[in-house]
Amino acid sequence: MLSAFVRIVLRNSLPGILSTAIYSFLLAWNNYLIALVFLRSDSNFTLPIGLQTFFQQNQADWGPVMACAVIMLLPPVLVFAFLNRFFSIGGVGGALAGK
């Protein structure tokens, strides 16, 4: 009974579960407001808060801003690249259960 549930139900719902996981990861990774409100120490700042330190009132140091933005972009891209191969399995995997 459990193996049928895993092979049929979980296999068909895998793309939705992974999409939710990626969306939740991106929301947690790019969290700005909660980190801004609750973190007071410079050593505990998250990357979006640290990125804000490159901006002054009338100017921005664009070189470090872009370097930090690329560093911030790498983990979500790697997570999506790793989980991307599971998206197509759920769509056609349950339809071909008899084969």
Give the C-alpha separation, 70 to 23, whole Å.
19
pLDDT per position as a tens digit, 3-60: 888 888 888 887 788 888 888 888 888 888 888 888 888 888 888 888 888 888 788 8
Q: Beta-carbon neighbour count of residue 83 at 10 Å?
A: 17
Contact 60, 54 (CB under 8 A): yes
Which tokens go with 25?
Answer: 């990861």
Q: Which residue, chain included where needed, has tokens 């140091």?
A: 61
Extents of the domains making up the chain: 2-93
pLDDT per position as a tens digit, 46-89: 888 888 888 887 888 888 889 988 998 998 888 888 877 765 55
